[in-house]
Amino acid sequence: MIRLENIYKYYYSESSVTQALRNVNLEFSKGEFVAITGESGSGKTTLLNVISGIDTYDEGEMYVNGQPTFQYDDDDWEAYRRNKIGFVFQNYNLIGHYTVLDNMISALLILGVGEKKAEKKALKYLEKVGLKGFEKSRASKLSSGQKQRLAIARALAKETDIIMADEPTGNLDSETGLQIIKLLAELSKEKLVIMVTHNYEQAQDYVTRKVKIHDGEIVLDVAVNTDKRINYKAEQPSDDKNADAGEKLGNQPKNTQVDLNQKRKEENSIARYFAWKNFSTQKLRGLLFIVFFMVVSTASFLFLGQIYSNIDDSSTKKYDDSVYYNGDKTRISVRKKDGTSFNKSDIEKLNKIKYVKNTDICDKADDINYYCEEGKDYKYSYGAVESDGSSYGALDPDDSSSSYSIRTQSENNWTFAKGIKKAVKQDMNVNFIKKNKFMRSVSCITKSDLVKGSLPKKNNEVVVYSKDSSVVGTTKRFYFTAKNIWGMDGYYYEDMKITGCLKEETEQAYFAESLCNMLSSSADGAKFKIDFMYDTKTDSYQGSYKLIPIYSETRDNLYDSSADMTEDEDTKDRDYDYRNGVPSGEKARASCNTQVTLNNLGTYDETYDEDATAMMGTDRLTITKKDKNGELTGESDKLVLEVTKEVTDYSDRFIEISKHLYYKYFKNESNQAAVYISNYAKTDKVIKSIEKLDKNYEAVSAYRMSLGEYNDEKVSERLVTLGIALGVLVMLIILEIFILRSLMKIKIKDYFVLKFIGMKLNTINKISIMEMFSYCAVTIVFVIVAANIIALCGSRVMIDMLAYYTIPFYLIFIVYNLILCGVTVKAFNKLLVQRMIKN
């Protein structure tokens, strides 16, 4: 069957060459039980490996069934090992965590036997070696003798003619070893059994031939026990049949594409079987891998997310508050292209869009600050009056750097103005501490948002949140500033009646639409023109700055028909020229601060207040409507402008007119709405939806519209964030390659066994690919699902994070993890191939 002719085998190392086999000439036939003996290092294993095709020879020729093997390539040797040789090893080479049956079945699967047939065969050969009843035991739980029996059964199941056993009794006690030898002797009746042993005495009664090797040379080759074994040569099956097999082996037709596909499919299904077997028999180990993948995928989920959400560099730009004073990121400004106003049905429509929290019909008022907590939002400061009567402007009582507070102590000649507000009222200042509260109109809420009361309808009505709902019905002073809209730093105030109490805790107060519209009406300065500061000498108006028209719900209606002034009466009462005709008694009022400007012209009727600080007077004022294009229309009203103490607390640009006149010029309507979304990250999405909803809508992000130059500090902050995230991702790659590779090393032992029982390296690699990718996929899915569940449970951090994560992010995340897994498995497989080739 096997004939070795002048075989030489060398092992090369850096410094020397070992002659492991020298001029070996041997011939083996079926029915022989050959014992190869010799000292340790004499070349027994090498000889066995050469015969079984595990190792190649360097010189000479080996004939298999009469056919030379010099032309065998790797595939041929593999086929030879598979189809011709059954192996039994000293260390059994079993997969410890598989059951006895699985060890058998997996070996047969590798050979291409179908699963059902494999099981049948497995049971048959297990019975033959006396392992019936142990099928379901784990291989690692067997005694050493049973393990070797299992290894023999596995070799037998291949149904090859040759069994090679390398020190099969090396790890067994003598009694168990003897049983194994008896078993091999029994088998050798139908096969060729070649056994390496350094304990010849144990086997001497059973073998048929003794071959002794020394320093790589055959020093003895004798037949023994010839009397006990008869006719083994006669029973030798015809070499012809086997020669055919050899021929087939040697001249295998080259693989066609169909074969390759078929082969790949088979390989895949085998790899799948083992990948699953490995997981199901070693769940703890599987868990270890899953935990590791979990760490990697969680970290990459977070840090890839950091990068992904930082791609938008808007956070690094300076906010320019000249248009949108309120930099709320979640605010989207909506207008209609035809310039018309928004109404309730627009709000309903907009509120239905996904991610929209609420819609404020008065967008412009959302840039107006309000202040309602004295000491927190604002504080007062007062003027001081010296004992000699000279006065000082308002001083900040909290300003310890000013010596004011010391001077108010009694020993000097200052008197503190606090408490005598009236006398120096013009010196009272309101200082606004925090500009963080912005108006919202009542359109953002509904009655159901209140625990008590009703929604505000009038200018001087408001709803707020309070723990104590008895605030409803009380009055509170609110100050308002709107630098952008009014074009000045002044303020407006109103003593507001709290009409309702909100359910949910918030600092946000909600105001009547009419107040919102009134305070923001001058944002549309183009709609009207106010002329004032009438100069009798030139017969023209000198007033050049913007006046802000207001009306009061509480003060008397300025329109007083009973007091309609005739020209005569008027001339009597007021000393100015009515040549241009004074209107039918409509009045306007300005705060006495406005007198400062009037004073300069000197053409008005003036009287001094008894405090000798406020100057009263009258002027005339004309309001003229403008058309769409900003051109003046003929429509106008001429009013008597009273500069009066009654309006003293307003800054110098408010002009109070009657409600009736107000509505005539300034429609209580808003042509710009604000849509508030749940998350800034959804800005683009919502803008798209709004513009899709109605072709007449135009939407912009108030925040983005207001971004100007880059802010260096924030740019570097962003770069640091990106750098850290990138660093972590790179670290993850390194970490995964090293840690996972070393984790996978615990599998190498199994892979060696698989290789020994004939699995191709390619298939082994596929097992690790399948196993690792399954773990990876499981954790990817887990992380995504877990993150979304956490968000659903209401975690703010997670909700904010996921808002940025769109489908492309998830794709990047998945691809990153799969590539990482792929690279690692590849690195591991490379390592595996190196190890396998070495051994």
The residue ranges that bind ligand ADP (CB under 6 A) are 11, 18, 20, 38, 40-46
Q: How far is the CB of 148 from ligand ADP (least distance, A)?
A: 18
Binding mask 18-57 for Mg ion (x = CB under 5 A): ---------------------------x------------
Beta-bridge partners for 534: 541
758 binds, among Mg ion, ligand ADP, none (CB under 5 to 8 A by kind): none
Q: How far is the CB of 133 from Mg ion (least distance, A)?
A: 33
42 binds, among ligand ADP, Mg ion, none (CB under 5 to 8 A by kind): ligand ADP
Q: How far is the CB of 87 from ligand ADP (least distance, A)?
A: 15
151 binds, among Mg ion, ligand ADP, none (CB under 5 to 8 A by kind): none
Q: How far is the CB of 8 from Mg ion (least distance, A)?
A: 19
Burial of 169 (0-12, 13-18, 19+ CB in 10 A): buried
Q: How far is the CB of 307 from ligand ADP (least distance, A)?
A: 49
CB closer to Mg ion out of 199 and 298: 199
CB closer to ligand ADP out of 38 and 543: 38
Q: How far is CA 180 from CA 39, 173, 203, in A?
A: 22, 11, 10
User: Six-digit token pair at 142?
Assistant: 């067997």
Position closest to Mg ion via CB: 45
CB closer to ligand ADP out of 43 and 145: 43
**Size of the residue set binding Mg ion (CB under 5 A):** 1
Per-residue b or e along 290-308, where b marks 16 or more CB atoms closer than 10 Å to that residue's CB: bebbbebbebbbebbbbbb
Q: How far is the CB of 745 from ligand ADP (least distance, A)?
A: 21
CA distance 717 to 501: 42
Q: How far is the CB of 44 from Mg ion (least distance, A)?
A: 5
Do β-strands 429-432 and 369-371 pair in parallel, antiparallel, or remain unpaired? Answer: unpaired
CA distance 245 to 79: 11
Alpha helices in 740-806 (DSSP H): 741-745, 748-756, 761-792, 796-804
CB proximity list for 667: less than 8 A, separation 6 or greater: 341
Alpha helices in 566-656 (DSSP H): 567-573, 595-601
Q: How far is the CB of 90 from Mg ion (least distance, A)?
A: 8
The DSSP output letter for 438 is: B
43 binds, among Mg ion, ligand ADP, none (CB under 5 to 8 A by kind): ligand ADP
Question: Is the CB of residue 164 less than 8 Å from the CB of residue 121?
Answer: no
User: Across 387-474, where does the E strand assignment appear?
Assistant: 391-395, 414-415, 429-432, 440-441, 450-453, 461-465
CA distance 242 to 808: 62
CB closer to ligand ADP out of 200 and 432: 200
64 binds, among Mg ion, ligand ADP, none (CB under 5 to 8 A by kind): none
CB closer to Mg ion out of 45 and 69: 45
Q: What are phi and psi of 286, to 5 degrees?
A: -60, -40
Q: How far is CA 752 from CA 51, 158, 169, 748, 765, in A?
A: 20, 18, 21, 6, 12
CA distance 354 to 454: 28
CB closer to ligand ADP out of 31 and 60: 60
Q: How far is the CB of 39 from ligand ADP (least distance, A)?
A: 7
User: Six-digit token pair at 672?
Assistant: 């710009």
CB closer to ligand ADP out of 14 and 240: 14
46 binds, among ligand ADP, Mg ion, none (CB under 5 to 8 A by kind): ligand ADP
SS3 (DSSP) at 143: coil
CB closer to Mg ion out of 41 and 112: 41
Q: How far is the CB of 124 from Mg ion (least distance, A)?
A: 31
Question: Is the CB of residue 596 less than 8 Å from the CB of residue 649?
Answer: no
583 binds, among Mg ion, ligand ADP, none (CB under 5 to 8 A by kind): none
Q: How far is the CB of 168 from Mg ion (least distance, A)?
A: 12
Q: How far is the CB of 729 from Mg ion (least distance, A)?
A: 49
401 binds, among Mg ion, ligand ADP, none (CB under 5 to 8 A by kind): none
Within residues 372-431, the interface with Mg ion by CB under 5 A covers: none
41 binds, among Mg ion, ligand ADP, none (CB under 5 to 8 A by kind): ligand ADP
Q: How far is the CB of 34 from Mg ion (least distance, A)?
A: 16
CB closer to Mg ion out of 45 and 594: 45
CA distance 813 to 40: 56
CA distance 674 to 696: 15
Alpha helices in 479-594 (DSSP H): 483-486, 513-520, 567-573
CB closer to ligand ADP out of 54 and 769: 54
322 binds, among ligand ADP, Mg ion, none (CB under 5 to 8 A by kind): none
User: Across 327-484, where does the E strand assignment appear?
Assistant: 331-336, 356-360, 369-371, 378-386, 391-395, 414-415, 429-432, 440-441, 450-453, 461-465, 475-481
The DSSP output letter for 226 is: T
Within residues 99-138, the interface with Mg ion by CB under 5 A covers: none
CB closer to ligand ADP out of 43 and 500: 43
300 binds, among ligand ADP, Mg ion, none (CB under 5 to 8 A by kind): none
CB closer to ligand ADP out of 22 and 44: 44
User: Six-digit token pair at 256?
Assistant: 């066609």
Q: Does 591 bind Mg ion (CB under 5 A)?
A: no
38 binds, among Mg ion, ligand ADP, none (CB under 5 to 8 A by kind): ligand ADP
4 binds, among ligand ADP, Mg ion, none (CB under 5 to 8 A by kind): none
CB closer to ligand ADP out of 47 and 582: 47
CB closer to ligand ADP out of 212 and 589: 212
Q: How far is the CB of 301 from Mg ion (least distance, A)?
A: 52
Q: Which amino acid is at 125?
A: Y
DSSP string, 24-38: EEEEE-TT-EEEEE-
How far is C-alpha 663 from the chain's CA centre? 52
Please say whether the dihedral angle defined by the alpha carbons of residues 198, 204, 207 and 212, taken in this order, is positive or negative.
Answer: positive
Q: How far is the CB of 19 from ligand ADP (least distance, A)?
A: 8
CB closer to Mg ion out of 89 and 301: 89
Which positions lie near Mg ion, rule CB under 5 A?
A: 45
